[in-house]
Amino acid sequence: MTDMPVERFEVSLNTPAGLLTMPVEVPTGFVPVTTIVPLMRRLSQQAQALEERKSVAAGHPISCRMGCAACCRMLVPVSAPEAFALKDMILALPDARRARMMTKLSETRARVEQAGLLARLTDVAETTQPLIDEEMEPLNREYYALRMPCPFLENETCSIYEDRPAACRELLVTTPAELCQDMVKNQVQALPVPVRISTVLGALWSELVGGPARLIPLPIALDWAERHSAERSLVWKGTQLLDKALDKVWRYLSQELAHRAEAGSRMQRGTEGTSSGN
């Protein structure tokens, strides 16, 4: 994570697709919140791999393939720690590549503004109220209707693949890839997400600095990180960040486990009702 001395732990989590165990190391000293981002991504990736294995075993392999970027036209939400990490990554790029990326970001911003969505995206990023999925739905749909490629998409490939947001990593589908060409009209079956890392990191940030667990639309994430650069320089003990982040993961997983158990028993009751009706 950094060059500081580290403490090692073994994380063990009960996910809906099985037990996940993962060795982790965190700096013992004071670090910014971005330090926890790669670790959380790794955790999400391993939880997702368990989910994928379960889906394959049930006869539903993943259809997503390299070069298939139909979903890279959707509005991607990122947490504040991810927005800061994205800014750090862009600043560390060679000049020419950084300049190209900045141009694409401002073109996207201009197009969003032309479509009348910029103020609404900014409101979402800066809101002091908790975000509600249902309220976000119209904005998500209007954005998707633009069919605007993500500013980080180059030749239908993600140009920041290793650093892409958690939300991009978590969207995997089991229905044929062609259906993703229109995710509104077509019934696309997405792999269940055991733990949404952007939500976890959003909740972590909210606990660290106060305010709602905000999610920032990717096209304006860099602008947001610029405006909030003073918060980027705050530091916490690495072990404290890990404890708080894992607490949010545990909470998320317990809700997800309860939610799936409830959905399972609803389905069971439905099947019994159908059988007794026959």
101 contributes a contact to ligand SF4 by CB under 6 A: no
Residues 6+ apart with CB under 8 A from 179: 173, 186, 187, 188
Among positions 10-49, residues that touch ligand SF4 (CB under 6 A) are: none
Q: Which of 6, 115, 136, 158 binds ligand SF4 (CB under 6 A)?
A: 158
How many helical (H) and strand (E) elements, i.e. helices and strands, does the chain have?
A: 10, 8
Cα 211 to Cα 264: distance, rounded to the nearest angstrom: 35
Among 125, 150, 180, 188, binds ligand SF4 (CB under 6 A): 150
Answer yes or no whether residue 196 interacts with ligand SF4 by CB under 6 A: no
Contact string 49-88 vs ligand SF4 (x = CB under 6 A): --------------------x--x---x------------
Q: Which of 10, 162 has the CB closer to ligand SF4?
A: 162
Contact 16, 260 (CB under 8 A): yes
Q: How far is CA 254 from CA 39, 109, 124, 196, 199, in A?
A: 20, 38, 27, 13, 14
Stretch that binds ligand SF4, among 160-168, 219-227, 241-249, 263-271 (CB under 6 A): 160-168
Distance CA 113, CA 132 (A): 23
Of 22 and 153, nearer to ligand SF4 (C-beta) is: 153
Q: How many chain residues are in contact with ligand SF4, going by CB under 6 A?
A: 11
Interface with ligand SF4 (CB under 6 A), residue from 115, 153, 172, 183: 153
Q: If you ran DSSP here, which 8-state letter would residue 148 be given?
A: P
Stretch that binds ligand SF4, among 157-165, 203-211, 226-234, 268-276 (CB under 6 A): 157-165
Tell me, what DSSP letter sits at residue 93?
S
Contacts of 150 (CB under 8 A, 6+ apart): 69, 72, 73, 76, 108, 158, 218, 219
Residues near ligand SF4, by CB under 6 A: 69, 72, 76, 150, 152-153, 158, 160, 164-165, 168
